[in-house]
């Protein structure tokens, strides 16, 4: 990426950023690598219980090598305003779209893993230009969509220490640097963690947060889960259901997180194998399966087990994976897990106004009872009908409605 360097004052300016045009040779090389993939035998089960199924990866790889077009994604990205600025010694990339409605609420929206800014592209229109999407002008947002440190077009940290609290502080610096004295924060996955911590740090100017990745597990419940115990008898039906979802997560679906949390550099080879990278990134589950059910449906091009891909397409999935490949951020992204000391689903203690959307396909659907205990000033709680872990990506319309409704109370 071309970045002007010079004296420190320049580096901390907001610098326009062009998505670099990837040389043809690099795209050719990627296609050649995919085509030369050496494949394992098929899994010995007929479901996803041993990992991302061979048929799914081969289907994706076949399309990726032959018909997928990164230039389309490049053009889509370049149609948006990108910037970079140095914060706390690291270049932070972000998309910044101002609404034409001047009174719009400034909002910083953060992605997670295995995601990127690609996840948020379809909510930009609905959130910044609501009247074109069936919503009132009063629900408009100015959007700031950063790439996390070590992800996408942001810089890769060269020293340890870029944990969630540091990212949260950097995001406040970013919003202030953009001239936003008052703003809100939104996020899912790591973005949810960042937004939660921003809520706990309660910097001046932060009006409130919206998360679709709430941290709500009460301590005694967390202890029981760790021990693999049966659900405590005192749980309500909603809480019991959440407990059972979490038990499955802990038993079967957290290996990727454990691996990246302890040995990210050992995964060095996913920087060398496109298919290896794709499989690793596909292995984030939701409450329906692992890979996340809508991702499976999107990749295979038909609805599997009734779990709609929604707006998510195979091209979207490959835009995201290809971004990791081209920016060589597989391992730098993994390092965020190593930096993190927080149990992300455990109860936070947030006193700033908070809006929570508990999507049915998220790893666990946080019950209202737990949510109220963690978010002391809960201004909105809803369980949408559809949408999973990648809510903004799968269901941009529903997601946008949730963000509008959730943060509406913050507007004057």
Q: Write out the residues near other proteins by the rule CB under 8 A.
A: 37-41, 43-45, 50-54, 57, 156-160, 252-256, 258-273, 275-280, 282-283, 290, 328, 330-332, 335, 338
Q: How far is the CB of 412 from other proteins (least distance, A)?
A: 44
Nearer to other proteins, 108 or 295 (CB): 295
Q: How far is the CB of 246 from other proteins (least distance, A)?
A: 16
Q: How far is the CB of 46 from other proteins (least distance, A)?
A: 10
Nearer to other proteins, 116 or 128 (CB): 116
Question: Cis (ω within 30 of 0) for the bond into 114?
Answer: yes
Residue 127: Cβ within 10 Å count: 31
Nearer to other proteins, 80 or 267 (CB): 267
- Listed in order, strand segments (DSSP E) in 212-349 are none
> 205: which 2 tokens?
């100017």
Q: How far is the CB of 170 from other proteins (least distance, A)?
A: 17
Q: How far is the CB of 365 from other proteins (least distance, A)?
A: 22
The residue written with tokens 């259901």 in the block is 241
Q: How far is the CB of 38 from other proteins (least distance, A)?
A: 5
On whether the CB atoms of residues 281 and 320 are closer than 8 A, the answer is yes
Nearer to other proteins, 265 or 351 (CB): 265
Evaluate the CA torsion angle 269, 272, 274, 277 in order and state its sign: positive
What is d(CA 248, CA 244) in angstroms, rounded to the nearest whole number? 6
On whether the CB atoms of residues 231 and 240 are closer than 8 A, the answer is yes
Nearer to other proteins, 22 or 405 (CB): 22
Nearer to other proteins, 13 or 343 (CB): 343
On whether the CB atoms of residues 353 and 409 are closer than 8 A, the answer is yes
Distances (CA, A) of 74 to 15, 18, 19, 22, 80: 19, 10, 7, 9, 10
Residue 234 backbone dihedrals phi, psi, to 5 degrees: -80, 0
């Amino acid at each position: 990426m071309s970045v002007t360097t010079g004296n420190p004052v320049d580096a901390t300016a907001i610098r326009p950023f062009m998505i670099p045009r990837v040389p043809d040779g690099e795209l050719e090389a990627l296609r050649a690598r995919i085509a030369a993939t050496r494949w394992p035998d098929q899994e010995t089960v007929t479901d996803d219980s041993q990992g991302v199924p061979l048929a799914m990866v081969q289907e994706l790889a076949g399309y990726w090598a032959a018909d997928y077009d990164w230039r389309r994604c490049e053009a889509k990205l370049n149609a948006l305003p990108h910037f970079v600025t140095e914060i706390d010694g690291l270049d932070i990339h972000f998309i910044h779209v101002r609404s034409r409605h001047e009174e719009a609420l400034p909002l910083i929206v953060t992605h997670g893993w295995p995601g990127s800014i690609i996840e948020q592209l379809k909510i930009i229109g609905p959130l910044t230009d609501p009247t074109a999407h069936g919503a009132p002008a009063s629900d408009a947002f100015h959007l700031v969509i950063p790439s996390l440190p070590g992800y996408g077009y942001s810089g890769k940290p060269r020293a340890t220490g870029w944990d969630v609290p540091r990212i949260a502080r950097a995001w406040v610096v970013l919003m202030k640097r953009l001239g936003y004295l008052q703003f809100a924060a939104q996020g899912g996955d790591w973005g949810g963690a960042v937004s939660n911590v921003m809520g706990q740090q309660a910097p001046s100017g932060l009006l409130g947060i919206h998360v679709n990745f709430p941290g709500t597990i009460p301590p005694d419940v967390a202890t029981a889960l760790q021990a693999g115990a049966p659900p405590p008898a005192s749980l309500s039906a909603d809480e019991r259901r959440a407990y059972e979802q979490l038990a499955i997560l802990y038993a079967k679906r957290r290996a990727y997180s454990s691996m990246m949390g302890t040995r990210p550099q050992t995964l060095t080879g996913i920087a060398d194998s496109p298919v290896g990278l794709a499989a690793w990134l596909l292995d984030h589950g939701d409450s329906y399966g692992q890979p996340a059910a809508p991702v499976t449906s999107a990749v295979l091009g038909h609805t599997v087990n009734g779990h709609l891909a929604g707006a998510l397409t195979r091209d979207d999935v490959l835009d995201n994976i290809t971004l990791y490949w081209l920016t060589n951020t597989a391992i730098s992204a993994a390092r965020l897990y190593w930096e993190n000391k927080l149990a992300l689903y455990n109860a936070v203690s947030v006193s700033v106004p908070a809006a929570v959307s508990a999507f049915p396909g998220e790893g666990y659907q946080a019950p209202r009872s737990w949510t109220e205990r963690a978010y002391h000033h809960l201004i909105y709680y809803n369980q949408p009908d559809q949408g999973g872990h990648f809510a903004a990506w799968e269901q941009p319309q529903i997601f946008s409605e949730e963000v509008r409704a959730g943060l509406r109370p913050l507007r004057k």
